[in-house]
Amino acid sequence: GQSLEQPSEVTAVEGAIVQINCTYQTSGFYGLSWYQQHDGGAPTFLSYNALDGLEETGRFSSFLSRSDSYGYLLLQELQMKDSASYFCAVKDSSYKLIFGSGTRLLVRP
Amino acid sequence: EAGVAQSPRYKIIEKRQSVAFWCNPISGHATLYWYQQILGQGPKLLIQFQNNGVVDDSQLPKDRFSAERLKGVDSTLKIQPAKLEDSAVYLCASSLVVDKTYEQYFGPGTRLTVT
C-alpha cells in the first residue's frame, strides 16, 4: 500500500522556527514535494526534493532522506500569514502525486 | 500568465442529480489533473490527462464520474448521479509536462455540496 504520515497539527510562535515531518511508504519513489494551502484557497507549490539533502528557498527549506523514507519542511522566521495547512506529496513511479493528509500550522503572536 | 481557471466556484445539488465542472489549465500545460479534496484531508487524484489522453484514472468511480479533455486544453468532470459522500472541493491542476508532475498549479476549486 501507499501511505504518507505527517502530524495533524503544529502550533508555533511568530518569529520562531518550525519543522513539519513527513514519512512515506510508496510503491516507487521519485521525489517529495511540499504544498501550502490556506483555508478556502488552492494548494500552492513550495518545494521539491529528488535527491538527499537540504533545499533552501527563502524562509522555507525542505529536506529529504531517501534511505529513511523521510523528509521535512522547515519554516523560519514564522509570520502570521504562514498559518495554513502543509501537505507533503510523493511523486511515484507512475508519475502520480500522492498527497499526505496535511499538517495544520497555527502561528500565534 | 493566467492561472488555472475553474467554474463554478460553488454548487449545491440534491442527491441523484447530476453536475459538471469545467477547467481551463495554464496555457501550454500538457498535463491536467482532477482531484477530490474532502474537508480535513489531502487532495486525492481522480484522473490525470496528458494532452487529451488519460494517463491514470484508477481512483475515478467510473460508475458515476466521467471526465474528458477535448483538444487537449479544457476539461470537464461530471458526476451522475451524485451521492452525499461526493460533497467535497473538486480541484483542477496542471503541470507543464508529466515529468514535472511534482510541480502542479491548482485552480481555486469548486465546492460541491450534495444534500
Give the model's pLDDT for residue B84: 97
Task: Tell me the C-alpha to C-alpha distance, in Å, between residue B85 and each of A1, A39, B15, B32, B97.
Answer: 23, 21, 9, 24, 32
Give the model's pLDDT for residue A26: 86
Distance CA B85, CA B73 (A): 29
Average pLDDT for chain B = 95
What 3-state DSSP class applies to A81? helix
Give the model's pLDDT for residue B77: 98
What's the rounded mean pLDDT across residues A60-89?
Answer: 97
On the question of a cis peptide bond just before residue B25, with omega within 30 degrees of 0, the verdict is no
User: What's B36's DSSP letter?
Assistant: E
CB neighbours of A37 closer than 8 A, spacing ≥ 6? A43, A44, A84, A85, A86, A87, A102
Beta strands in chain A (DSSP E): 3-5, 9-13, 18-25, 31-37, 44-49, 53-57, 60-65, 70-75, 84-91, 97-99, 103-108
pLDDT band at B52 (very low <50, low <70, confident <90, very high): confident
pLDDT tens-digit series, residues B86-111:
999 999 999 998 778 899 999 999 99
For residue B60, the distance in angstroms to the closest alpha carbon of chain A comes to 14
Residue with the three cell numbers 517529495? A32
CB atoms near residue A77 (< 10 Å): 11
- Is the pLDDT assigned to residue A1 strictly greater than 70? no
Is B98 part of the contact surface with chain A (CB cutoff 8 Å)? Answer: yes
Distance CA B98, CA A24 (A): 22
Is B108 part of the contact surface with chain A (CB cutoff 8 Å)? Answer: yes
- Is the pLDDT assigned to residue B1 strictly greater than 80? no
Distance CA A78, CA A108 (A): 9
pLDDT tens-digit series, residues A2-51:
899 999 999 999 999 999 999 999 888 899 999 999 999 999 999 999 99
pLDDT tens-digit series, residues B13-45:
999 999 999 999 999 999 999 999 999 999 999
| Mutant choice from B31, B102, B103, B110 vs A, greatest count of A C-beta within 10 A | B102
Instruction: Return the C-alpha cell found at B41.
Output: 484531508
pLDDT tens-digit series, residues B69-79:
988 899 999 99
User: What's A15's DSSP letter?
Assistant: T
CB A103 within 8 A of CB A86: yes
